[in-house]
Structure 1
Amino acid sequence: MNKKMGALLLSGLMIGPILGSGIIILPPAVYEIVGNYAIFAWVIMLALSMLFAHLFGKLSVMIPGDSGVALAVERAFGTHIKNLAAIFFALAVCFGPVAVMATAGYYFELLTHFNELWLTGICLLFVYLLLTQNVTAVGKLAFAMSSFIVITLFAGSAYTLLYTDGTLSLGSITVIEFGQSLLLLFWALIGWEVVGNYSLEVKDPERTIPRAILISFTVIASVSLIVAMAFQWGNHTMSGLLTGLFGSFATPLISTITIILCISTVLLVIGAVSRLIADQAKQGVLPRWLSHKNKKQVPARALTLMFIIHVCMFVLYAANIVSISQLVAIANAFFLCNALLGVLACMRIFSSPFLKVGAAILASCFFSILLFSSPIILGVITIVCCYFIRLQRITVKKQMHIQQ
């Protein structure tokens, strides 16, 4: 019998990945652009994040299934556009995890002084070993890791704030600078759309998913704000946030937290995409043998396929054929396309004017960020989109012809 997650375990699975390494990287990056105005950028982005979480939580309850966002896209635009969303998400996860694990390997090297490349490979293997366990076991581990991250960052940042003067000196900035800070922070929104891929593995989704999102958002918003404030009003270094409370352990703690965040993120997305692949195979879009789930309800064959792909990506990275920045750029573009299709589906599915306007705002933001991708990636995305849109139009015409 497959055990299912409650709100607490589901929130534990989401908190770490959605915080992501951005909670370490973004505070200094945003502060460098807009100084003390950064806190206002954080507040705006967290408000958008709350809207994003709310939209995709509703979608997950309304249209549950292993394919997640793709199911909502199918209801809004048709089967071929659903397949397009699924391909975007799968492609993103083909490229992204190796880059994230390479980041974990770098911080592992700082702690252990072993070879970064070998440590990257070990981290990737460790993630796949975890994913062979049932989802509740993974959820419990993710909850423990998320709790460690939240408690450490919150306690260290709160302690830092206690010993600051609390004054907010605002200089002058331009609209362009503030806009750049918002664009940078927009990456903090990515992650909420994955919750739908786990909707069949939670108890009573109509109650569990909204509760899990409420818990997750409350924790993520609280940690993000207190870290941002402590960074601004403290000594402007991430390790400095923890120095007051943890002393010489601050730097190792930041490294450990970053490693855990990377592992949490990869756990969430690979677990989600393996379920997506299995569901697509069950529907006949992919070879049916990929739909198999073992006794633990783990999509083992889909997971094996992703492992082979990631081993290939790791070999390319190890051979210096692709870099971390290239892998991240490709993955981010495909993640954005998947999220963009999701919010466009929200605009079409939801009847509430508030939700439609919110989805329109998010769609505009996602599209704006997507335009910063390389011309080659944008060209590939355009070609793939045109192909699937053409297939959908042909299908619609055939259906209309049959009805006539």
Structure 2
Amino acid sequence: MRNRKIGFLLLSGLMIGPILGSGIIILPPAVYETAGNYAIFAWVLMLGLSLIFALLFGKLSLLIPGDSGVPLAVERAFGTQIKNLSAIFFLLAVCFGPIAVTGTAGHYLQLLTNQSFFNEKWLALGILCFVYIILTRSIADVGKFAFFMSSFIVVTLIVGSIHTLFTVDGSFTLSKPITISDFGESLLLLFWALIGWEVIGSYSLEVKTPERTIPRAVVLSFTIIAIVSLIVAFAFQWIHSKNGNMMNQSLAPLLQSLFGSWATPIISSITIALCISTVLLVIGAVSRLIADQAKNGLLPSWLSFKNKNNVATRSLFSLFCIHIIVFILYFNDLLSIQTLVAIANAFFLCNALLGVLACFRLFDSVFFKISSFILAICFLGILLFSSPIILLLIILVSVYFIWLQKRDSKQHEKILQVGNE
């Protein structure tokens, strides 16, 4: 079987775009509207937490490598049934999330092409099919494609923002005080920017010399993400703080000084690229999770098949069928993008929460234990903002798997007692 593994540059390219995500387009205006010029301090604080999150899951992927990613660490920390719970959370998130993301990409693609022959939902379906075609290629090909898109996103945003800072008349003052509640609300908004690093583990078997590649990729990815986030956030504040005008909450003004009338089409292109990058990462990760679960007998064994490019094609096809069903519901307005996002975010948070709890239990370092505890509290707090129906479903599923885990533990203890006698 031919298995072309990737180095730290391609792994970084695979991570940068998805972790930046649509947040780099949506969050700078939203956080500035909440915190004013103090927003930049919220970004710095949140990036510090993001670094800890990235280091935690980078270390975790080295400690427990495997296609399942976070669920493997959860199994080591809490047992097989809680691992299955983590896998279900991740799978459910990816059943709904990609349709919301491709729906957003379809909307921007229609704006970009300015045509009415295909509506944005059909364009979303086309983007989804394009993503699946890319994912049938080897991880090296997927990594190269993701690296190209990440480079386009990063270079465009950095160059445009720096040009704006040096050419546009702006200001930065802290004359107006800010309340603790407003600053706290801005941090709450930015917590969504943390999600994404937990997927690293799903690619731990696809990289060359993981003990070197993964730490280097984490450091490089975080450095680039931090630079882009801070420059974009500060440039947005720079052009809005002087006159306090928040009429235009798009990032297009950041690029107008350099690209002129092309600024809006470029922002649309960046958003589409971010959406495609995100869907590539999560669908690729969950296809590996399904194949690994099938290999271990938890799902039908035929799902474990991988082709000559080491791609879990049957898992991908199963996911594609699920996404077509969800797309039909979306196409017929039975599920909105907002509903899809709410469902996916809740399950992504649950998976991340189990991941940081596993870190708390597995790592001996006091620093990592404290960091894991803080992140767990924060993720739980954000999760409580989810829909009551989704929270009820999460509680019921969690209680069931916790009961299964306790039952298995009791059976194991009885077997040990019989063996000792």
TM-score with structure 1 length normalisation? Answer: 0.99
1:276 to 256, 272, 289: 289
Q: Which residue in 2 is equivalent to 1:93?
A: 94
1:247 equivalenced with 2:260 (yes/no):
yes
SS in 1 for 2:205: helix
**Separation in 1, partners of 2:48, 2:411:** 43
**Separation in 1, partners of 2:65, 2:195:** 20
- Superposition RMSD on alpha carbons, in Å? 0.9
Compared CA separation, residues 170 and 345, structure 1 to 2 (3 A): farther
Q: Which residue in 1 is equivalent to 2:63?
A: 62
Amino acid at match of 1:119: L
**Separation in 2, partners of 1:352, 1:320:** 49
**Separation in 2, partners of 1:243, 1:282:** 52
Counterparts of residues 352-367 of structure 1 (less than 5 Å): 352-367=365-380
Q: Which residue in 1 is equivalent to 2:274?
A: 261
SS in 2 for 1:372: coil
Cα-to-partner distance string for 1:337-391 (whole Å, 9 max, x where unaligned): 0000000000000000000000001001000000000110000000000000000
1:116 equivalenced with 2:106 (yes/no):
no
**Separation in 2, partners of 1:3, 1:168:** 51
1:152 equivalenced with 2:165 (yes/no):
no
Q: Give the CA deviation at 1:165.
A: 4.6
SS in 2 for 1:252: helix
Amino acid at match of 1:203: K
**Separation in 1, partners of 2:83, 2:121:** 37
Counterparts of residues 153-302 of structure 1 (less than 5 Å): 153-163=157-167, 164-235=169-240, 237-302=250-315
Q: Give the CA deviation at 1:112.
A: 1.0
SS in 2 for 1:201: coil
**Separation in 1, partners of 2:22, 2:330:** 20
Amino acid at match of 2:322: I
SS in 1 for 2:364: coil
**Separation in 1, partners of 2:181, 2:292:** 43
**Separation in 2, partners of 1:276, 1:4:** 18
Q: Give the CA deviation at 1:312.
A: 0.6
Q: Which residue in 2 is equivalent to 1:345?
A: 358
Q: Give the CA deviation at 1:167.
A: 2.8
SS in 1 for 2:176: coil
Aligned residues of 1:105 and 1:123 also touching (Cα < 8 A):
yes
Amino acid at match of 1:249: W
Worse overlay, 48-57 or 228-237: 228-237
**Separation in 1, partners of 2:412, 2:322:** 37
**Separation in 2, partners of 1:315, 1:165:** 47
Aligned residues of 2:20 and 2:193 also touching (Cα < 8 A):
yes
Counterparts of residues 101-112 of structure 1 (less than 5 Å): 101-112=102-113
Q: Give the CA deviation at 1:180.
A: 1.1
Q: Give the CA deviation at 1:175.
A: 1.4
Aligned residues of 2:25 and 2:251 also touching (Cα < 8 A):
yes
**Separation in 2, partners of 1:75, 1:324:** 36
Q: Give the CA deviation at 1:166.
A: 4.4
SS in 2 for 1:49: helix
- What count of residue pairs does the alignment treat as equivalent? 404
Compared CA separation, residues 165 and 273, structure 1 to 2 (3 A): same
Amino acid at match of 1:261: L
Q: Which residue in 1 is equivalent to 2:243?
A: none
Amino acid at match of 1:233: W
Aligned residues of 2:38 and 2:174 also touching (Cα < 8 A):
no
**Separation in 2, partners of 1:246, 1:210:** 36
**Separation in 1, partners of 2:273, 2:238:** 26
Q: Which residue in 1 is equivalent to 2:316?
A: 303
Aligned residues of 1:36 and 1:170 also touching (Cα < 8 A):
no
**Separation in 2, partners of 1:205, 1:234:** 43
Amino acid at match of 2:274: L
Aligned residues of 1:81 and 1:389 also touching (Cα < 8 A):
yes
Cα-to-partner distance string for 1:148-175 (whole Å, 9 max, x where unaligned): 1000000000111113454323412221
Cα-to-partner distance string for 1:114-159 (whole Å, 9 max, x where unaligned): 3211111111110001001011000000000000100000000011
Cα-to-partner distance string for 1:289-324 (whole Å, 9 max, x where unaligned): 111001111000000010000011111001000100
Q: Give the CA deviation at 1:113.
A: 2.4
**Separation in 2, partners of 1:193, 1:400:** 32
- Runs (5+) with no aligned partner, structure 1: none
Q: Which residue in 2 is equivalent to 1:127?
A: 131
Counterparts of residues 16-95 of structure 1 (less than 5 Å): 16-95=17-96
Cα-to-partner distance string for 1:73-114 (whole Å, 9 max, x where unaligned): 000000000010000000000000000000000000101123
**Separation in 2, partners of 1:303, 1:72:** 23
**Separation in 1, partners of 2:394, 2:58:** 27
Aligned residues of 2:170 and 2:239 also touching (Cα < 8 A):
no
**Separation in 2, partners of 1:151, 1:134:** 26
Cα-to-partner distance string for 1:194-219 (whole Å, 9 max, x where unaligned): 01000000000000000000000000
Q: Which residue in 2 is equivalent to 1:2?
A: 3
**Separation in 1, partners of 2:157, 2:327:** 31
**Separation in 1, partners of 2:369, 2:174:** 38
